[in-house]
Amino acid sequence: MKQVAVFGYGTVGSGVVEVIDRNSAVIEKRVGEKLNVKYILDLRDFPGDPNESKVVHDINVILDDPEVEIVCETMGGNEPAFTYSKNALLKGKSVCTSNKELVANHGPELLKLAKENNCNYLFEASVGGGIPVIRTINEALTAEIIDGITGILNGTTNYILTKMDREGAKFDDVLKQAQDLGYAEKNPEADVEGYDACRKIAILSSLMTGHYVHFEDIYTEGITKITPEDFKYAKALNCTIKLLAMSKENNGSYYAMVAPFLIGKDTALYNVNDVFNAVFVHSNMLDDSMYYGRGAGKLATASAVVGDVIEAAKNTGKNLPIFWDDTKVNLLGIGEVNRSFLVRVKEAECDKKEISAAFGEVTYVTDAGVAGEIGFVTPMMKEKDFEAKLNNLSGVIGRIRLDK
């Protein structure tokens, strides 16, 4: 019997206990032994819960129990999750986590500790919920040089943008609906400002490069300024708007960013809607591949954690190498990246002469049906050149990047 402890009995933690319980027979066959949740660490008591007797409040009960070989860290946040994870690894206990913030912040250090203590730090559930994208990169695409990853990595924002596209609704109204349905957090800042997607692409970028891409170096723009008018332009251009998280090789360097993009109907990510996530990977031998599924939710995320528990259980006493060291990657500024932009200006303050003088030959969007403004798509240019030109243009309402 493999003994497991769960740190944090919230949504994901209780999901982990449920998955281990409901799928115990098949898990036992796959591991070759039964998995048993021996302890649940939480500050709270859970009177009446079937697992009430397993709840402990003192981490040392778990750390000092040699029978516990694997812990699931489903607490979230940096502390005390970081200290608890370190201490578990120091005791040779594998840690399986859904905590993207901790992985993005301290991944290399925790991976090193796992290696030194012949155990594993596994984090499948930290990106893309139940989509097995981390294991795919670490174990399946190992013959590849990956040079680009583009993902829809946040379910809440994808739900909001999908509703805005389909219903012509306003951001604030859809956010409220998402909160009422329990998709968005009461404090939705991390989702709508792109911080959640930023941490996830930081993790994927680190696995892509084998080094450490720090989330603070990633340019991040959220979706709070996207309006129904933007979607009218998107439709006129046969596009929709998605919050993309991307990391790409560019002439031997890498850049990474999170921002809303106009993407065409002919692109693979166009039909990724509602709370679904998808990760599009480009690599040198396989070319394009895409991974799609539920990027959030109790059982989807818990299933990924338990998948890691099974992996750890099958590899007791053995560290599984993960291609991610602590050498920092110096990212290329996104100002150097070439792309085109949709720009909206007020008709009363700017004319086509001024637009041509600034941007040369542009493509006007004539059928968006938005009165009192001019919308146009620029030629491809470096972001820094675009921003300089835009700063000198009169009556600017907004701009959105095109992913072409």
Given the complex with ligand HSE, which of 156 and 205 has the nearer CB atom?
156
Distances (CA, A) of 115 to 90, 154, 316, 318: 10, 31, 12, 9
Beta strand 276-283 with 287-294: parallel, antiparallel or unpaired?
antiparallel
Judged by CB under 6 A, the stretch of 131-139, 154-162, 341-349, 355-363 that binds ligand HSE is: 154-162
Contact string 309-348 vs ligand HSE (x = CB under 6 A): ----------------------------------------
Strands of the sheet containing 2-7, edge to edge, are 55-56, 35-41, 2-7, 68-73, 94-97, 121-122
# binding residues, ligand HSE (CB under 6 A): 8
**Owner of token pair 């799928």:** 23
Q: Which residues pair with 240 in a beta bridge?
A: 263
Residue 347 Cβ vs ligand HSE, minimum distance, rounded to whole Å: 37
Among 20, 59, 81, 296, binds ligand HSE (CB under 6 A): 296
Judged by CB under 6 A, the stretch of 7-15, 101-109, 152-160, 361-369 that binds ligand HSE is: 152-160
* Residue 363 host element (H or E): strand 363-364
Judged by CB under 6 A, the stretch of 153-161, 250-258, 365-373, 395-403 that binds ligand HSE is: 153-161
Is residue 155 near ligand HSE by the rule CB under 6 A?
Answer: yes
Tally of CB atoms within 10 A around 96: 28
Among 8, 107, 295, 307, binds ligand HSE (CB under 6 A): 295
Is residue 124 near ligand HSE by the rule CB under 6 A?
Answer: no
115 assigned to active site? no
Judged by CB under 6 A, the stretch of 6-14, 17-25, 149-157, 382-390 that binds ligand HSE is: 149-157
8 Å CB contact between 191 and 147: no
Q: Token pair of 359, please?
A: 């941007």
Out of 200, 242, 248, 389, pick the active-site residue.
200
Given the complex with ligand HSE, which of 295 and 307 has the nearer CB atom?
295
3 state SS of 130: coil
Given the complex with ligand HSE, which of 245 and 310 has the nearer CB atom?
245
Tally of CB atoms within 10 A around 137: 24
Binders of ligand HSE among residues 167 to 206 (CB under 6 A) are 191, 196
Is residue 129 near ligand HSE by the rule CB under 6 A?
Answer: yes
Residue 202 Cβ vs ligand HSE, minimum distance, rounded to whole Å: 13
Is residue 108 near ligand HSE by the rule CB under 6 A?
Answer: no
DSSP letter for each residue of 31-92? HSS-EEEEEEE-SS--TT-TTGGGEES-HHHHHT-TTEEEEEE---SSTTHHHHHHHHHHTT
Q: Residue 49, class by beta-carbon neighbours within 10 Å (0-12 exposed, 13-18 middle, 19+ buried)?
A: middle
Site residues for ligand HSE per CB under 6 A = 129, 154-156, 191, 196, 295-296
Residues marked as catalytic = 200
